[in-house]
Amino acid sequence: MIHPKAIIEKGVILGEDVSIGPYAYLESGVHLGKGVKVSAFAHLRANTYIGDNTFIGSGSVIGEVPQMIDAGAEKGKVYIGKDNIIREYVTINCSSFSDKATSLGDGNFLMACSHVAHDCKIANNVVICNGTLIAGHIEIGDKAFISGNVTVHQFVKIGRLAMIGGLSRINQDVPPFMMVVGDSKVWGLNLIGLKRADFSKGEISQIRKAYKILYRKELLLKSALDELGKLDSLVVKEIIVFILSSKRGICGPKRSSLWEKLFLDYPYFIRRKIPTYESIMKFDPSKFDKG
């Protein structure tokens, strides 16, 4: 299943049943597991390791050097696990040091034109939607969902089962299970994600309590952590450990300024439904050439 117009350098290691499309370019040092599919025009740079049954979309570039002005001559690695879907024109940069790696776990879905920069650590079953930009040294936990055209600042950590709304800008850490919208503001919980992950009603109830303590009681962070410590719950302990390990600080609560209320929130209350039927042209067959 290797197209005759694919370019495969010496030193590439191919697993069983791989598929490589036309004009794909695999450099020496690329390792593909069994069942990997590489689409047309994809470019896999040296020191890229891809696990079983992973799909690489058309025009994707995996393992390119970091986009750093002071990038050194040494080239790092990219480790990608099994059962990932990496769609067309995705770019994933290698690590900035030869003894380290940019890594993706298993079962991740990276949609078209998304970017993962150097030294990122993406866990398992993460969804990154179209056009999202993940800067360097970012860590993303299991089953996080990052919507389209999101930008994430370097060194940010995104916790397990967090959800980021479309067009958001993230410059602080996102605790597990939270939903962030806009400019690093927590609006609520990722309840749909929690239910899909088979969290029990009791666990969700404890997470609700933790959310209210953190983002509704207006406590200082130390006081909020003391309150969280009184909740006997493993999921709450996960939130506490995440916060204590945060170096950038965590995203804050949604508090609309007067300007935001006037120009952003208020229109939602007064807008009307758009009568879409009025914008649809009436079809008149007589205007078209029957020949």
Three-state DSSP state, 200: coil
Catalytic residue among 52, 119, 142, 173: 119
| Residue tagged 């866990």 (tokens) | 123
Inter-residue contact 1 to 18 (CB < 8 Å) = yes
Q: Give the count of beta carbons closer than 10 Å to the beta carbon of residue 95.
A: 25
Whole-angstrom Cα distance, residue 196 to residue 125? 12
How, if at all, do strands 127-128 and 145-146 pair?
parallel
Catalytic residue among 107, 118, 148, 173: 118
Active site annotation includes 118:
yes
How, if at all, do strands 185-189 and 178-181 pair?
antiparallel
Catalytic residue among 51, 136, 148, 193: 136
The pair of structure tokens assigned to 61 is: 């570039």
Q: Give the strands of the sheet with 13-14, arranged side by side.
A: 13-14, 31-32, 48-50, 77-80, 101-104, 121-122, 139-140, 157-158
Active site annotation includes 289:
no
Residue 36 neighbours by CB under 8 Å, 6+ apart: 15, 18, 19, 50, 51, 52, 53, 54, 55, 56
Dihedral sign for Cα 79, 68, 138, 98, please.
Answer: positive
Active site annotation includes 226:
no
Q: What residues act catalytically? A: 118-119, 136
